[in-house]
Chain A
Amino acid sequence: MKRNSLLLTAVVAASVLILTACGEAKGQKSAGGDGETFKPKGNVTMVVPYGAGGGSDMSGRSIAAGLEAVVPGLRINTENRVGGSGAVGYSYFLSKTGDPNYLLPSETALLALPLNTKVGFDYTRFTPIMKVGDDFTLAVVPASSPWTTCADLVNASKSGRVVAGISGVTGLDNVVFTLTEQATGAKFDRVPFESGDELLAALLGNQIQVASLNPGEVVEQLKAGKLKALCAFSEKRYEYPELKDIPTAKEQGIDVAFAQFRGLIAPGGISDGARKFWIDASRKFIESDKARQYIASNYLQPNALFGDDFTAYLKENNDTLKKAQGE
């Protein structure tokens, strides 16, 4: 019966979804094993707290594929748990405390969310595994802008109005502007947008005068000569050929550097053996071509850290964030 083929398709597709969900639920508690010999049993789940296709999603999928390549027999499914600017995904991850079969591609929202919104977690509730790299921001202006350095920008803001676009009040680009204000006495008038893409459009359309964006978001516009970068808010200059000529803010007398990190965390309360397993696997991953490719195509600075070093980094970063938000 032809007319039923449509329904059949719908039902089959729906059943597949249900079965996938059930499969997930079954795998949950099967993991375990203490001591040195930990090895995940069954499939591991990479929980991505943002929508498919975004930066977090790509980092999650790249790390998952990379880990599978360096650990024989490992299977990682990626699952998007979307909502609440990431809060839903992190909360779900919190509910997996003690289960080493879950991983989450983390970034600075891990710190920023608890500072700004009432959520049931902070970074201490999870097990930091690896920091893959740092994503700093560049101060970018339209090509027609009279400014050529961040010092120009700061001076202009002291004598007149400077309209800066930010990707949300809790966005990290806003943190960079605040840190610059605190360091130099500059003053920026902020217009809130919701994503880097919106900021790009607003810059290209001359609706805002400056924005602070990740290199990966603007490098093509820089190459095309539509935008120009004034300075990089990073400790050291970028080594990528298309970015190496951009001076750091520090070189221009503004002592501000703030990165969004990209990394990997496991749920809190997992065994030492499990933690060691994931850290060892991550060390192998970072040496792999997949990791290098991910870092290069997103223009990250490859500053990898593992385990305790990553935890220490999170603490320091959290303090900077708190300071920037006046707490």
Chain B
Amino acid sequence: MIDNVILGFQTALTPQNLLWCFVGVLAGTVIGLLPGLGSTTGVAVLLPLTLDFEPVTALIMLAGIYYGAQYGGTITSVLISTPGEASSVVTTLDGYQMARRGRAGAALSIAAIGSFVAAIFSLVLLMVVAPPFADFALKFGPVENLAIMILGLATIVSFSGDSRIRGFAMAAAGLLLATVGLDAGTGTSRFTFDSVNLLSGVPFVEVMIGLFAVGEVMYQIRIGAAAPIRTRFRDLLITRNELRRSVGPIGRGSVLGFLLGCLPGAGSTLASFIAYGVEKRVSRNKGQLGQGAIEGVASPESANNAAANANFVPTLTLGIPGGGTTAVLLGAFTIYGLQPGPLLFQNQPTLVWGLLVSFFIGNVMLLVLNLPMAPMFAQMLRIPYAYLYPIILFTSFVGAYSIDNNMFSVWVVFVSGVAGYFMKLYDLPMAPLVLGLVIGPLFEKALTQTSALGDGDLLIVLSHPIALVVLALAVLLVAGPALARLLPRNTPAEEREPAGV
């Protein structure tokens, strides 16, 4: 173990690898900033440039892009309510409210600190306990995934704002939108109106850009009153009190993020939603969540970064990608003539440990980059809106086109933008819609698979203890306070019923 870490430092600390690690995290930050251009695309596009590198150098840089993007995605979420990455959608809820009150600097700082702590936490776990965790993750089959998706849906109660019924309606709308496209079970095309563009469903990132960025710009133009936010430099710095309040959320976010990130396919977006949902239940300041509470930034940002790093658990130990970007990275392994798989740790210790140690170095670089930059980025809000809004619109549409090189994406952004404007006008919460759209396909897939495994009988859930525990958590999340008040003892039978609906 110690030998391996030393070997890792020897590999990662060569000037060349340090330089490319820095280039990677910097490029990642910029890529994360741009709406539409996520880390998956970023890594894939820059991959061909690294073909002449040493494999370890190339992977250090590409991985740097991946976790760098996690930091960058936060910045625009907070400043202009435009998530640069899907996993930063939740951050807009409280981050943007903080920015409007002149606390953007604090929000960005805590996001950087939370991301850093979460990354270091999950990296230590990744080094020490990756193989047992990977084995545990394999126990999560379709049935367990179904339970996790139900848990994810249960967090809707936390995203509904003042009116729960509006939240549920929006989540239902998201789930309905998610049914468009080829269905996982039978391959039938649903609601596609013979358009090939709709075969793969309503594209989620485009909808997100439209709702949050374009919708917000249109709404602000309508109000017309929004003045540039001027703050004194002192207000841009995070206070001791804010730091203290963030300790709990960062801890919970990191643990949740790591656990969910270990599961192949669950991903950091779901982790950020669930972490926020949990925070809304257990935080001391839960009442303020949604109105610009620092906990609402600290928790999801820690969770998505922990999950992003934990994605490497199945990727490096089993050769099974944890998410979209790690799948591209696995492809890169093959291009460099390395075979990712269960034997990677054994056969390529220099590469694996060099890569892992470079994660540490890269995250330190990101913290050093992001902390002083946070107040500077926050100053961006002083740009008059006459200049800022056209730039947001421009990057949104161009970013959308760059996702698939397809005009269809641009139209989706436009339509969702108009929808987002009206949703704001009539005070309909957007996060549940996004949640429904993200979880919908995953939920349906798990449901179809569970049903197929059980030969049509969903009661096989009962024979999977892990799934039952997760379902119990979902019930606690929804009905926790009510149950605690009414009946202190909750039996498993009572727990399953509402969750299975």
Contacts and interface: CB of A to CB of B under 8 A. Distances in A.
B372 to A, nearest CB: 11
Interface string A181-211: 0000000011111100110111011010000
A81 B408 CA distance: 11
B47 A52 contact: yes
Interface stretch (B136-144, B170-178, B247-255, B481-489): B136-144
Interface string B451-487: 0110100000000000000000000000000000000
Contacts of B34: 10, 13-14
B343 A220 contact: yes
B339 A220 contact: yes
B404 A83 contact: yes
A266 interface: no
B334 interface: yes
A207 B379 CA distance: 52
Interface in A209-247: 216, 219-221, 223-224, 226
B238 interface: no
A221 to B, nearest CB: 6
A312 interface: no
A54 B335 CA distance: 11
Contact of B44 (A3, A13, A51, A161): A51
Contacts of A163: 453
Interface string A152-193: 000000000101000011100000000000000000011111
Given A14-B395, A191-B449, A223-B343, A7 B380 contact: yes
B200 interface: yes
A117 interface: yes
Contact of B199 (A83, A161, A223, A226): A83
Q: How large is the interface on B (under 10, 10 to 19, 20 to 34, 35 or more residues)?
A: 35 or more
Contacts of B142: 191, 202, 207
Q: How large is the interface on A (under 10, 10 to 19, 20 to 34, 35 or more residues)?
A: 35 or more
Given A53-B331, A191-B452, A169 B264 contact: no
A120 B196 CA distance: 9
Interface in A25-69: 51-54, 57-58, 61
A193 B441 CA distance: 12
A84 B200 contact: yes
A207 B142 CA distance: 8
A83 B406 contact: yes
B352 to A, nearest CB: 14
A73 B37 CA distance: 32
B210 to A, nearest CB: 17
Interface stretch (B15-23, B179-187, B363-371, B413-421): B179-187
Given A116-B187, A220-B341, A220-B342, A205 B138 contact: yes
B31 to A, nearest CB: 9
A191 to B, nearest CB: 4
B196 A201 contact: no
A295 to B, nearest CB: 13
A71 interface: no
Contact of A169 (B48, B186, B314, B321): B186
Interface string B13-50: 00000000000000000100110010011011101100
A10 B33 contact: yes
Interface in B320-347: 320-321, 327-328, 331-332, 334-335, 337, 339-344
Given A81-B406, A220-B341, A52 B41 contact: yes
A53 B47 contact: yes
A204 B138 contact: yes
A53 B141 contact: no
B10 interface: no
B191 interface: no
A57 B264 CA distance: 22
27 contacts: A3-B376, A4-B383, A10-B34, A11-B395, A17-B401, A18-B398, A52-B47, A54-B327, A79-B405, A80-B405, A81-B404, A84-B198, A84-B199, A91-B196, A161-B455, A169-B185, A189-B452, A192-B185, A194-B184, A201-B314, A204-B318, A220-B340, A220-B344, A221-B342, A223-B343, A297-B337, A298-B334
Interface of B: 30, 33-34, 37, 40-41, 43-45, 47-48, 75, 138-142, 182, 184-187, 189, 194, 196-200, 203, 264-265, 314, 318-321, 327-328, 331-332, 334-335, 337, 339-344, 376-377, 379-380, 382-383, 391, 394-395, 398-399, 401-406, 408, 445, 448-449, 452-453, 455
Given A57-B331, A83-B197, A221-B342, 4 more contacts: A87-B196, A191-B142, A201-B320, A220-B344
